[in-house]
A and B are shown apart, each in its own frame.
Chain A
Amino acid sequence: MAVMSDTALQAAPITKARGYWATVGRRIVRDKVSMVCAFILVLIFASALLAPWLGLADPYQGSMIRRLRHIGTPNYPLGTDELGRDMLARLIYGGRLSLIIGILPVIFAFVIGTSLGLVAGYVGGRLNTAIMRTVDVFYAFPSVLLAIAISGALGAGIVNSIVSLTIVFVPQITRVAESVTTGVRNMDFVEAARASGAGPFTIMRVHMLGNVLGPIFVYATGLISVSMILAAGLSFLGLGTKPPEPEWGLMLNTLRTAIYINPWVAALPGVMIFAVSICFNLLSDGMRSAMDIRN
């Protein structure tokens, strides 16, 4: 008998089942579209971060005699803007503020919305009603209108623009987080944790958070695309960044007057917003299908 069980043990192949996240990771890496998008985003982020060391022209230094040069002018590969500042430098430096004001609101809303949704979904009852009915009120405004109303009331500025966009996204993430949490709450392992004496805070942090974070994260990644467009849009209206800071939305705004003289230079900042926005959208789609393990 002892010999038999010994061979049986040896015969059993030692396969370590790949974890869920490792599988998801492999599926994303194999997805060409997601990888191209990730590469473009890394490129834009890195160049924005390393802008001072890239040997670019001063993005604030203008010159009245070389205003609105065309794309391809020697020394000014992407031309110059309405004040004679180098467009290439401004586009790369512009990534710094544009990415910050576009992404920070989603990060803040992710933290706040996930917490609110988790609590609402787990605790339920009156607290759920209170949180979710408040969320409903914000759903009564189209998001562009809400963002503009809040920043319009608060006044122009980077901080106000981040605050207003955070307020716009918190209800959306809360709603997703609440519905995911409600789905997980009644599963057996949560019941088991409760039966073994875990308190509500421990259950939420240890047992629920890991299970609800994935879908919320994917949703939030998709929101970055909207947030980039809205944040730049606020600056475009004159409600976000103030001149002379390089920022894509504001650059579009100040270059609007130049569309009759040098149209394609004027359109360049929009290309950057479009690129970042579409990459985040495709990446979010890629993650969603990678996490949908049934396929």
Chain B
Amino acid sequence: MLVYVTRRIIYVIPIVISVALVCFLLVHITPGDPLVAVLPADASQELAAQMRSAYGFDRPLPVQFGLWLWRAIHGDLGSSIATGRPVLSEVLRAVGNTVTLAIAAALIGFTLGLLFGLIAGYFRDTWVDKVATSFAIAGVSVPHYWLGMVMVIIFSVQLNWLPAVGAGPGGSGAWGWDWEHMKYLILPAITTSVIPMGIITRTVRALTGDILSQDFVEALRAKGLREWDVFRHVIKNAAPTALAVMGLQLGYMLGGSILIETVFSWPGSGLLLNSAIFQRDLPLLQGTILVLALFFVTLNLLVDIAQAAIDPRIKRG
């Protein structure tokens, strides 16, 4: 196990460096001067040159990358061009809100997905299966930002039950676990949960069907096991794959929250990314993407290790 974990961690290092390289290069595929957002339109050549050397944009690219990476490792992702505040603290504060949203959505989506998937797989080709499968296919096909709009139309505009935008009363960014704040979480969390719900339903349904058709299930039944105990074996065998898919989905929710957060003005990393893009705040854009991608890589690593821990067959492979 230790060998496997070590090997997985070593394998992640080149990925992390490449991810950093991609994030770094993003700024350099941008058309125009990266300082265009801060310099006044009538800035003199000298001022532009001065700013460029202050930000280090006048050095050769590999040197810039090396310096940037060195600072990034030490937790310095530069300062936001728009606000002047350090990128890392801006990103971490926003990520906190995104994590809150992702966990709430995961609770809803994973529970429903597992439930629908197990039931649909167990009662394959019955009406229960058809209903669950329809939910699943709708979940993976719906443009979730549109679903968010529809939710706002129904529950905020028409029924006036829940707030349409924001993450708390008074527009403050501070989160609290009370009803006043929870009201703001409900709609975005439900909207975010539909995709993982659909994907997990489909995965678990297929897994359950596969496992039930294997010979050992027949043997369990022949042995006289009650149906519930057979079902427990199904769950045990489906767990590693289901876990991997759930981990991946959690990562997608953390990293892909920009559309939902824009619809609901949820003050998370997605909304931060949105403003970084439109204010052309390149250090902030770079930093946000780097932090989110690293989250995703770490999550994948943890999932792999957890999978190996509960399924001994994986380590041998």
Contacts and interface: CB of A to CB of B under 8 A. Distances in A.
A262 B146 CA distance: 15
Interface string B183-201: 0000000000000000000
Given A144-B252, A267-B150, A137 B158 contact: no
A259 B255 contact: no
A140 B19 contact: yes
Contact of A263 (B158, B252, B262, B278): B158
A229 B143 contact: yes
A141 B262 contact: no
Contacts of B30: 153-155
A205 B191 CA distance: 45
A277 to B, nearest CB: 4
B251 to A, nearest CB: 6
B49 interface: no
A169 B294 CA distance: 20
Nearest to B198: A281
Contact of A270 (B15, B137, B149, B277): B149
Contact of B293 (A141, A144, A238, A267): A141
A145 B143 contact: no
A141 B299 CA distance: 11
A237 B275 CA distance: 11
Contact of A152 (B31, B153, B251, B273): B273
A12 B152 CA distance: 70
A237 B277 CA distance: 10
B26 A153 contact: yes
A256 B149 contact: yes
Contacts of B258: 144-145, 148, 237
A189 interface: no
Majority secondary structure, B binding face: helix
Interface size class of B (residues with CB under 8 A): 35 or more
Nearest to B140: A281
A137 B18 contact: yes
Given A136-B15, A274-B141, A278-B141, A266 B259 contact: no
Nearest to B273: A148
Interface string B145-177: 111011011000110000000000000000000
A239 interface: yes
A130 to B, nearest CB: 13
Contacts of A233: 143, 145, 259
A229 B143 CA distance: 5
Given A225-B141, A238-B278, A142 B26 contact: no
Interface in A236-284: 236-239, 252, 256, 259-260, 263-264, 266-267, 269-270, 273-274, 277-278, 281-282
The 7 closest A-B pairs by CB, nearest first: A270-B146, A144-B256, A142-B255, A278-B141, A152-B277, A263-B153, A145-B255
Interface of A: 133, 136-137, 140-145, 148-150, 152-155, 225, 228-229, 232-233, 236-239, 252, 256, 259-260, 263-264, 266-267, 269-270, 273-274, 277-278, 281-282, 285
25 contacts: A137-B18, A140-B19, A140-B296, A140-B300, A144-B256, A148-B273, A149-B26, A149-B285, A150-B29, A153-B27, A229-B143, A237-B259, A237-B262, A237-B274, A237-B277, A263-B153, A263-B158, A264-B153, A266-B149, A273-B146, A277-B142, A277-B143, A278-B138, A278-B141, A282-B137
Interface of B: 14-15, 18-19, 22-23, 26-27, 29-31, 137-138, 140-147, 149-150, 152-153, 157-158, 251-252, 254-256, 258-259, 262-263, 273-274, 276-278, 285, 289, 292-293, 296-297, 300
